[in-house]
Amino acid sequence: MCGIAGQLLRHSKAELAGIRAMCGQIRHRGPDDEGYHLDGGCGIGMRRLSIIDLNTGHQPISNEDGSVWVVFNGEIYNYRELRRDLIRAGHRFQTNSDTETLVHLYEEEGVEGIRKLRGMFAYAIWDVRARSVLLVRDRFGKKPLYYAALPQGLYFGSELKCLRAAGVPLDIDPDALRLYLQFCYIPDPWSPYRAIRKLPPGSWMIYHAGGQIERGRFWKLPVPPAEPPPDLSEAEACERLRSTFDEAVRLRMIADVPLGAFLSGGIDSSLIVASMALQSAAPVKTFSIGFEENEFNELPYAALVASQYKTEHHEIMVRPDSLDLVSRMIRHFDEPFGDAAVIPTFLVSEFAAERVKVCLSGDGGDELFGGYESFFQIERFRWMDRLPQFARTAISWTADRLPYSAYGKNYLRMMSRDSALARYFEANTTPYFLRRNLLQPDWMLPSDGAYFRQTFRDCLPPDEADILTQALYFETTAKLAGEMLVKVDRMSMANSLEVRCPLLDSELAELASRMPNSWKIRKRSGKRILLKALGDRLPLEIRNRKKMGFGFPLPLWFRGPLRGFLWDHLTGGLILSR
């Protein structure tokens, strides 16, 4: 795991001081090592967190004749198999690292070789002969990659602060902020700045020294079928799910440093710990976080799993004084981010980093197997599809005229929307009337389904797909990459901790995408097939408990011990002056 940065200038030479300054901004992502390579207008650099091949994995790494160079952030879990194939094809390796696989695979197959990678990655390849830089980002966007293509050249980095250090223009992008004000995160490919974009998940980009740009996708999440596939029974799917899940966990246990797991006491993290324990001779190190407020505290459930699998278990309790961390965390985001769970995520990462350098997490299970309440809500709202237009108009008229504090005002607004997709977004983003009260009209997004379909055209399936399929697909693509994985990446890397997500294994995800929604969600409960395949590994209390999510008692704290803290900030000079 590393942080990377670089540039390809069209009319001047890259300077070491400039590349070093960009990489210096992300030292937290890689405190163990640094490396740079300059060649005319190209300069690439990295900060390394050593996980595999501790002695010879220094970057940048080149091929045999120095015509291809790479800087890499992430892990390639199938690199040993790829390495064997490349050696048979005549390539010579200088290290035992997964990074070196990338340069030889590029030599052998070009961008087509990206499809063979199984892992999490963001990397840049400098092709000396073609005088071009290739940027690549993994299928789900687990690893970040920002870039700016300007008249003077290309700039890229693992975090926005790298590009700020290079002097990239920072004019605000109003469209990105409008999206943030509704979604509470800035979705890909936008960034807060007009000149900077995020490379979309599952895609690549080639920037040539003359300024020409090529773009492509190497992967797109398959759309789940409406009906069970004829060549896959539910029993066969359970059997394959069990074996593919264990393989995904096993691959992510490969490391030359201490490794552990986050254990929340929910289904996903508990299944991962169970699989780790069944495949490990030594006790698994597990890390859990809790709260004094019982309705948010999952420590008793985590303890059940830890006891069953005899893990080396560690717990930490979070209290209101943890908000002192906010000023530290802001630096690591570089852009607006509205999920309060960043605080416990930071704390559990900091806690785990005292003992391990790698942690496995349960991220992705809710998206792929239908675990969120928003999916069950869709089933409850299906009757609204039958409302005639005159009724929708009347409901909208009523919602607009109710007092702001009236109970059900936002619910009526949601009922009146013109499509199931528009209702889904209305119910799962910042409430319309809250935004209308706080914002000038220019900062409001359109609220019709057509706008969302156009804006998120790469993150929604075709129109004919069922609304549940559309919601699952959106959350697994746009929301996962823009919110959940951003939170986990920034807060873990702020503590120089690598987090791996077995449930986001590409082969596991493709298997899940072959299963119809009816195998995942039924009678307002989700993850049905995941539990059918693997639930025998869990304590009964875990299997039967209602989903809690990574909750955080911030509203209780703001009404109680942190009331003064909130008032002082909201009435402070900085906010009032704006």
| Other Cβ atoms within 10 Å of 102 Cβ, number | 29
Positions of CATH 3.40.50.620 in the chain: 234-371+470-564
Inter-residue contact 253 to 502 (CB < 8 Å): no
- The catalytic residues are 2
Task: Write down the pLDDT at residue 117.
Answer: 97
What tokens were used for 522? 């039924």
Selection from 212, 76, 75 nearest residue 133 by Cα: 212
Q: Read out DSSP for 262-290?
A: E--SSHHHHHHHHHHHHT-SSPPEEEEEE
Inter-residue contact 273 to 284 (CB < 8 Å): yes
pLDDT in tens, 15-71: 999 999 999 999 999 888 899 999 999 999 999 876 655 566 688 999 999 999 999
pLDDT in tens, 444-456: 999 888 899 999 9
Peptide bond preceding 561 in cis form (omega within 30 of 0): no
Q: Is 475 helix (H, G, I), strand (E, B) or coil?
A: helix
Q: Read out DSSP for 358-402?
A: EEE--TTHHHHHT-SHHHHHHHHTGGGGG--HHHHHHHHHHHHHS
Confidence of residue 362 (pLDDT cuts 50, 70, 90): very high
Q: What is the mean pLDDT of the chain?
A: 93
Confidence of residue 549 (pLDDT cuts 50, 70, 90): low
Positions of CATH 3.60.20.10 in the chain: 2-217
pLDDT in tens, 100-136: 999 999 999 999 999 999 999 999 999 999 999 999 9
Q: Is 154 helix (H, G, I), strand (E, B) or coil?
A: strand
Instruction: Please report, rounded to a whole number, the percentage of residues in the chain having pLDDT higher than 90.
Output: 80
What tokens were used for 81? 């198999």
Specify the residue for token string 């119910």: 427
Buried b (16+ CB within 10 A) or exposed e, 420-440: bbbbbbbbbbbbbbebeeeee
pTM of the model: 0.94
Task: Write the DSSP symbol of residue 61.
Answer: E
Task: Write down the pLDDT at residue 51.
Answer: 65
Give the contacts of 300 (CB within 8 A, at least 6 positions apart): 265
Architecture of the domain delimited by 234-371+470-564: 3-Layer(aba) Sandwich (3.40)
| Other Cβ atoms within 10 Å of 192 Cβ, number | 18
Architecture of the domain delimited by 2-217: 4-Layer Sandwich (3.60)
